């Protein structure tokens, strides 16, 4: 297990290193002079020179990259050009909306998908199965931001059960904050739950057809017992893969959904920064999100090895 973990850790570090180079080159090298780009065509030469000095652009691209990465490693993400505040603080504030939102959605998606997928697989061909499959077909096809708008129309504007947007902050009480994140989380979770329920169903059906399940049945277990004791654990590998992949979609999706509900999360920050050409902020937020995705996939790999001892031995 230790060797497996170390090997995965190495490939994780390489991924992050290459990703940081790609991000740095795209955002800081491709546009030419970032200071000129951020200030626009009408800027005076001395203003540009001052900004170049301020952003530390008067050194080679390689040196800038090293500064950027070593800064990030010590928690220094640079200073936002527009807001004149440390980027790390801005991200820190907003992460407390985006991350809980993505996790909340992941929780909802799993809570919906597992029972639905297990039900559909254990009662294959029944009305329940058809219903689950039909609903998930719709759930996969619906754009989540549109679903979010419809929920605002129904549950916030007409029924007044929730507020239509905004965030009271975690200081205003835990449940109030959770309530404000509920509609966004549901709209994020719906398409993911649909995908996950389908994966759960087909993975279970696949394992239910395998020899070890047949042996378990021959041993006298009912179909139900065989499903819970043997098939479910073996069906977890594809399900875990999808959950891992979904986390990155949920983080990215959160950026879009935040727009529907006017939540001041990372998404709002990134779109404001794009319109203000605040490249430093964009660069750091993208790196942070990629970091999150890579770490989650790494954890999924480790989770595989825990669920399936065969994978540990193979490496």
Partner 1 sequence: MTAFDTSSNEASVLRQVLRSRSLIIGLVLSAVFIGAALVSYVWTPFDAEALNIPTKLKTPDAVHWFGTDHFGRDIFSMIMVGARTSIAVALIAVGIGILLGVPLGLASAARSGGWLDEVIMRGNDLVFAFPALLIAIMITAVFGPSAVNAIIAIGIFNIPVFARLSRGSALSLWTRDYVLSARVAGKGALRISIEHILPNIMNLLIVQGTIQFSLGILAEAGLSYVGLGAQPPIPSWGRMLADSQTLITLAPHMALFPGFAILLTVLGLNLMGDGLRDLLDPRLRNARR
CB of 203 vs partner 1, minimal distance in Å? 12
N- to C-terminal Cα distance for the chain?
Answer: 9
Compose the 273-292 pattern: x for residues touching partner 1 by CB under 8 A, - for all others. Answer: xx--x-x--x---x--xx--
Closer to partner 1 at the Cβ: 61 or 111?
61
Distance between CA atoms of 224 and 195, rounded to whole angstroms?
A: 23
Closer to partner 1 at the Cβ: 110 or 144?
144
Residue 155 as a binder of partner 1 (CB under 8 A): the answer is no
Residue 259 as a binder of partner 1 (CB under 8 A): the answer is yes
Near partner 1 by CB under 8 A: residue from 49, 69, 119, 140 = 140
Could you tell me where the DSSP H helices lie in the chain? 2-24, 34-39, 45-55, 61-73, 87-122, 127-141, 144-151, 174-208, 211-218, 223-226, 232-261, 266-275, 279-307, 309-314
Near partner 1 by CB under 8 A: residue from 255, 263, 269, 305 = 255
Closer to partner 1 at the Cβ: 231 or 282?
282
Residue with tokens 């800038």: 64
Distance of CA 66 to the CA centre of its chain: 27
Q: Of the ranges 2-10, 53-61, 152-160, 302-310, which one interacts with partner 1 (CB under 8 A)?
A: 152-160
Compose the 1-30 pattern: x for residues touching partner 1 by CB under 8 A, - for all others. Answer: ----------x--xx--xx--xx--xx--x
Give how far Cα 148 sits from Cα of 181, 231, 237, 259, Å. 12, 35, 31, 10
Distance between CA atoms of 258 and 261, rounded to whole angstroms?
A: 5
DSSP string computed for 245-287: HHHHHHHHHHHHHHHHHT--SHHHHHHHHHHTT-HHHHHHHHH
Binding site for partner 1 (CB under 8 A): 11, 14-15, 18-19, 22-23, 26-27, 30-31, 37, 137-138, 140-146, 149-150, 152-153, 157, 202, 205, 209, 245, 248-249, 251-253, 255-256, 259-260, 267, 270-271, 273-274, 277, 279, 282, 286, 289-290, 293-294, 297
């Amino acid at each position: 297990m230790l060797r497996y973990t170390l090997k995965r850790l190495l490939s994780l570090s390489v991924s992050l290193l290459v990703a940081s180079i790609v991000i740095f080159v795209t955002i800081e090298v491709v546009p030419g002079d970032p200071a000129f780009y951020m200030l626009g065509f009408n800027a005076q030469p001395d203003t540009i020179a001052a900004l170049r000095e301020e952003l530390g652009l008067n050194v080679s691209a390689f040196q800038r990259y090293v500064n950027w990465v070593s800064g990030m490693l010590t928690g220094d993400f640079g200073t936002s050009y527009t807001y004149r505040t440390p980027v790390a603080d801005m991200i820190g504030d907003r992460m407390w909306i985006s991350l809980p939102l993505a996790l909340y959605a992941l929780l909802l998606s799993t809570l919906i998908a597992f029972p639905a997928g297990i039900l559909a697989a254990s009662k294959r061909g029944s009305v329940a199965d058809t219903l689950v499959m039909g609903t998930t077909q719709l759930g996969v096809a619906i754009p989540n931001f549109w679903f979010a708008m419809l929920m605002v129309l129904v549950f916030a504007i007409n029924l007044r059960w929730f507020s239509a947007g905004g965030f009271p902050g975690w200081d205003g009480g835990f449940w109030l904050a959770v309530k404000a994140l509920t509609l966004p989380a549901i709209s994020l979770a719906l398409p993911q739950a649909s995908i996950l329920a389908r994966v759960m169903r087909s993975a279970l059906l696949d394992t239910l057809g395998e020899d070890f399940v047949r042996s378990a049945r021959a041993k006298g277990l009912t179909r139900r017992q065989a499903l819970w004791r043997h098939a479910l654990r073996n069906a977890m590998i594809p399900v875990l893969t999808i959950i891992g992949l979904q986390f990155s979609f949920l983080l990215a999706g959160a950026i879009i959904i935040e727009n529907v509900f006017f939540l001041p999360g990372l998404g709002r920050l990134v779109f404001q920064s794009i319109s203000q050409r605040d490249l430093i902020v964009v660069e750091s937020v993208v790196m942070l999100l990629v970091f999150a995705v890579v770490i989650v996939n790494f954890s999924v790999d480790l989770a595989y090895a825990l669920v399936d001892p065969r994978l540990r031995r193979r490496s």
